[in-house]
Amino acid sequence: MAVALTTTSNLDDFTLMQAIAAGDQAALAALYDRHAGLVFTLALRILRDRMAAEDLVMDVFWELWCRSERYDAARGSPMTYLLTIARSRAIDRKRSADRHRSVRVQTDLSTDNIGNGPQPATDDQSGPLDSAIAGELGQRIRGAMSKLDAAQRQAVELSFFDDLSHSQIAERLGKPLGTVKTNIRQGLIHLRESLRMK
């Protein structure tokens, strides 16, 4: 089993998805080791509750296991697929939970990195290469985000993490609708261009 896990953990995400579709539990475990942390981080940012975020991670990977045929490699990488599902599910849960209370959106970007206590130690099974790649990508993303105009970064984060439409952002920030739309659009375009550059 240990040998099989090692072999599986060296496969790329697309191959792991194929293996999962074929019923390979070790492949699911390997994909979980690689991306569960990121899925959990995203869920926690949106839901701001560890238990709810863990439930969401479970749901996302369980859905992946049960409905692996729904993944279309032509539409994007498995990581994108996982994060897209995770965001969609998290937004739905957030809306359900927010029914009876008003939500104050934190516009202070410095508070967006949730500090729910020290990061727990985990028996991370992902290899050192996976961690290095994730670390490097994270640095690139953070670097790209830091280059965005503050208004663009704020608009993108409010829409993606806080489920606000452009009209809701405009109302919340007291800005013209057209300005907010432009900020979101230009923010995404600049982010995409920054990530394309080596």
Segment 63-92, which members bind other proteins (CB under 8 A)? 65-67, 69, 74-77, 79-80, 83-84, 87, 91-92
Binding of other proteins at residue 7 (CB under 8 A)? no
The single-letter DSSP state of residue 117 is S
Binding of other proteins at residue 47 (CB under 8 A)? no
Which long-range contacts does 58-62 make (Cβ < 8 Å, 24+ apart)? 59/89, 60/85, 60/86, 60/89, 61/28, 61/31, 61/32, 61/36
Binding of other proteins at residue 192 (CB under 8 A)? yes
Nearer of residues 17 and 42 to other proteins, judged by Cβ: 42
Binding of other proteins at residue 58 (CB under 8 A)? yes
Binding of other proteins at residue 10 (CB under 8 A)? no
Cβ atoms of residues 188 and 196 within 8 Å = no
Could you tell me the smallest distance in angstroms from the CB atom of residue 10 to other proteins?
19
Binding of other proteins at residue 181 (CB under 8 A)? yes
Cβ atoms of residues 60 and 82 within 8 Å = yes
153's tokens: 């970064």
Binding of other proteins at residue 137 (CB under 8 A)? yes
| Angstrom distance (rounded) from CA 164 to CA 172 | 9
Could you tell me the smallest distance in angstroms from the CB atom of residue 11 to other proteins?
18
Binding of other proteins at residue 198 (CB under 8 A)? no
Cβ atoms of residues 63 and 85 within 8 Å = yes
Cβ atoms of residues 43 and 139 within 8 Å = no
Nearer of residues 11 and 38 to other proteins, judged by Cβ: 38
Judged by CB under 8 A, the residue of 23, 129, 133, 150 near other proteins is 23
- Which residue has 């919340």 as its token pair? 172
Binding of other proteins at residue 161 (CB under 8 A)? yes
